[in-house]
Structure 1
Amino acid sequence: MTETTPPEAPPVLGHRRILNIAVPIVLSNATVPILGAVDTGVVGQLGLPEPIGAVGIGAVILTSIYWIFGFLRMGTTGLTSQALGSRNTPEVAALLSRALIVAGAGGLALILLQVPIFAAALMLSPASPEVEAMARSYLGIRIFSAPFAIAVFGITGWLIAQERTRAVLVIQVAMNGVNILLDLWFVLGLGWGVEGVALATVISEVLGAGVGLWFCRDAFRSHGWRDRARVFDPERLKHMAMVNGDILIRSLLLLSIMTSFMFLGARFGDVTLASNQVLLQFLNITAHALDGFAFAAEALVGHALGARARPVLRRAAIMVSGWGVATSVLLSLAFLLFGGAIIDTMTTAPEVRETARLYLPWMVLTPLTGIACWMLDGIFIGATRTRDMRNMMLLSAVIYFASAAALVPLFGNHGLWIAMHISFIARGVTLMWKYPALEAQADLSDRRAAA
């Protein structure tokens, strides 16, 4: 008995199918800032600044650490969508097992190494002794949900590959909803303070992983998820490691761009630094809005490549990108018309408001200059062309740092924003340069299958 069956005609690729994938992701992303606001709000009711600072620092540290494991979400989506396209059902189940194993191992490593990790992190973000003590308490509780928090990445990627993004929305709403309710109970009702916020998050992350596994229950009815020979197959493990490693390097290069942007902006004073931070929220809004269509590209391109259907692959890339472009135009118009009002809701400082408005035109352009790189990221993840993503990100990072070095001395903070836009354009152009090879991969797979 062969482990795969010949690819059948893929499901009809229409706009409804794309929106069924994308809209739940956009709604899911919308719940994230709500949780952050509640976390801050409940500790703010304690009437002291230290708990707010402790939760803020602790959340940033853990978010940054967990962000490193974002490769698990992207890599799992690409690999699983291709396995689905080739109708390799045992491999689909095995990929879920591998993702959970990586999550368990990574989470356990973080628990065991928490002391040096947190010590180094707190050295990079010095605070008062009171805030640091509370932050250590917060981190010491939250770290024990690390395997579950990382598992959600893998589970989410596995579900997105199957176009089951409504399940992803349910997971996110369940996690954040329970977290909010427990925040209110533990902090305002029981008076547990910072520790209550941390415990609420631990419980919600465990719950999120549990809900996610329930949505994956069909995989556990097959033999593939516990087929040790398949799950631990050296070639498949090596391929998964290479895909995830490339994504990790690419993500770290992207982080270097964003981090340097903040550091370089700090040279222009506190007001400019604060205005840049406010304006970066426009970038976050854009990314969250376009994530849905990028995720749709991951699933649909992966399916088409696994099915060796080059015309479907091209149609998926074009149709999803069309929705992305339309969304980007709407976002640019919204930022143009309402950008000032959005800035005013984020800060009450008159000088920050004035400075942010000065640089607002760069944010109006952001959805337009960034659309190509966001959509192509999704397309390349679906095709698991992660080496191209890594290499083109390296080239784009070099272009960004060279642009910043040349433009910042000439144009100040405007030059910094120009360099950021150049990095968006560079990512889009370089990935587009590699796109023909991605399509050719479908033909290559077809010839190999026929051989």
Structure 2
Amino acid sequence: MLGQATVPLVGIADTVVIGRTGDAAALAGVALGTTIINFVFWTFGFLRMGMTGMTAQAKGAGDEAEVRAMLVRGLLLGTLIGVLLFALQIAIIPAAFAVLAGGEALDAAARGYVSARFFGAPAGLAVYALVGWFLGLGRTRAALVLQVAMNCINIVADIAFVWHFGMGAAGVGYGTAIAEWSALVIGSGIALSVLGPGALSAIRAQGRALIDREALRRLFAVNADIMIRTIALLATFAWFANAGARLGTVPLAANHVLMQFVSVSAFVLDGFAFTAESRIGIAIGKRSRPDFLRAFRLTGEFTAIAGLCFALGIWLAGPSLIAVITDNAQVRAAAGALLVWTALVPLIGAPAWLFDGIFIGATRGRALRNAALAATALYIGTDLLMRPWGATGVWIALLASYVWRALALGAYLPGLTRSIAESPRRA
């Protein structure tokens, strides 16, 4: 949970640094740019999610060679995809702004932020793989150290570029890119220490086994479904951001402020989901149904309690936190009017986040894909129906999206449970 709590601090630091300038257009530009970057980068979120489940299953099966191989494959794949994205940004950026609603000032700020973030793409995607590998091994402390280091560097760079050099939204993007490259170096060092003495020699000795055809086929098969699932969910948040942009600069900026609360609660509650990923993956590697059921029960209980606590915390502390994030009076007022709906997200969204963890740990990519596609289609339909309600309807539709996702994944849960063979637990 501590490790996950630091993840959204990158976005929060970006928002606070630019929000304290009082420039609503710049804040909205970062909001729009973040939507684009999240969509592009998290399209390859399987580098984190697929790595966790497959690494945990290799650990549960006692296959140390495969654990090492998963690290190398993840780092290589993340870096290569990142380099490709950097090269293709000349086409990606114009296409993204052609789809999302904005305005001249808004688009200018967002373009500066997005262009800067692409410099960090190779490192950012490789870090996804590193974090997934750490979580698969249950090395949450290593993930915590990595996230804290990245956030500290990001905050210092943001302050320098925006407040000292006056670089605006672009400065925020460059600060985050620098933090991502720093995290890759730090994370690689931590990974080698986790593997222990002789890790590099052991990796070299594996040679061609690192790129074993069957292992790569399974990696891409699982990750292709997770990739489609991720794109579907990113489409939900892109639609949400575009719905805010359609209402104007101030509503978009207000939604971005409120989404920082959603981001913190989602990432912290994902700490339980990530625990489920690791424990579920290990249970399946052992072929132990009792371990599977125990992991599901314990993470479910803690997730429900934490979701309620976050809902109460956002409702009670929200007005003060909004005032800290932005100086703009209009944005503060708009965000305050929608706070009650934001407070409901961690409570209503908790089951969906937990189910994600369970199915990612089980590497059930097809179930994740189908559930996400169904939930996204239902969300868009709900949003269209709620448009007469304005900004309130936008948030009600978002809440409904979590319900659709939980119901869709829940339909697959009995089959997953039955598929785990009963067998004696192995040490």
- The normalised TM-score by structure 1 is 0.79
SS of aligned partner of 1:69: coil
Q: CA deviation at 1:97?
A: 1.2
Unaligned runs of 5+ residues in structure 1 are 1-21
CA distance in 2, matches of 1:70, 1:222: 30
1:235 is aligned to: 214
Conserved? CA contact 2:8–2:263, under 8 Å: no
Q: Is 1:31–2:6 an aligned residue pair?
A: no
Change (3 A) 1:63 1:39: farther
1:210 is aligned to: 185
- Residue 95 of structure 1 is aligned with which of 48, 65, 70? 70
CA distance in 2, matches of 1:391, 1:115: 32
Q: Which has the higher contact order (CA 8 A, sep 6+)?
A: 2
2:407 is aligned to: 429
- Residue 369 of structure 1 is aligned with which of 326, 331, 348? 348
Change (3 A) 1:63 1:313: same
1:323 is aligned to: 302
Conserved? CA contact 1:268–1:413, under 8 Å: yes
Change (3 A) 1:383 1:280: same
CA distance in 2, matches of 1:429, 1:260: 21
Q: Write the letter of the residue equivalent to 2:7.
A: N
RMSD: 3.6
1:6 is aligned to: none
Max radius of gyration: which structure? Answer: 1
Describe the superposition over 1:389-430 as per-residue Cα deviations: whole angstroms up to 9, x where unpaired: 110112222322333344445x55544433333321121122
The count of aligned residue pairs is 419
Q: Write the letter of the residue equivalent to 1:435.
A: L
Describe the superposition over 1:171-200 as per-residue Cα deviations: whole angstroms up to 9, x where unpaired: 1222232344445566777x5947876665
Change (3 A) 1:406 1:114: closer
Describe the superposition over 1:240-266 as per-residue Cα deviations: whole angstroms up to 9, x where unpaired: 112211111111111222222343455
CA distance in 1, matches of 2:355, 2:243: 28
Q: Write the letter of the residue equivalent to 1:372.
A: P
Q: CA deviation at 1:234?
A: 2.1
2:262 is aligned to: 283
Q: Write the letter of the residue equivalent to 1:384.
A: T
2:138 is aligned to: 163
CA distance in 2, matches of 1:329, 1:93: 39
Change (3 A) 1:225 1:420: farther
- Residue 202 of structure 2 is aligned with which of 211, 216, 223? 223
- Residue 441 of structure 1 is aligned with which of 416, 419, 425? 419
- The normalised TM-score by structure 2 is 0.83
- Residue 40 of structure 1 is aligned with which of 12, 18, 23? 18
- Residue 147 of structure 1 is aligned with which of 122, 136, 153? 122
Change (3 A) 1:34 1:370: closer
Q: Equivalent pairs: percent with the same residue?
A: 36
SS of aligned partner of 2:411: helix
User: 1:285-324 residue pairs with structure 2 within 5 A?
Assistant: 285-324=264-303
CA distance in 2, matches of 1:348, 1:179: 22
Describe the superposition over 1:116-137 as per-residue Cα deviations: whole angstroms up to 9, x where unpaired: 233434555676599849956x
CA distance in 1, matches of 2:272, 2:331: 33
SS of aligned partner of 1:113: helix
Conserved? CA contact 2:78–2:129, under 8 Å: yes
1:334 is aligned to: 313
Conserved? CA contact 2:42–2:234, under 8 Å: no
Conserved? CA contact 2:39–2:238, under 8 Å: no
CA distance in 1, matches of 2:341, 2:162: 40
Q: CA deviation at 1:346?
A: 4.6
Q: CA deviation at 1:204?
A: 3.1
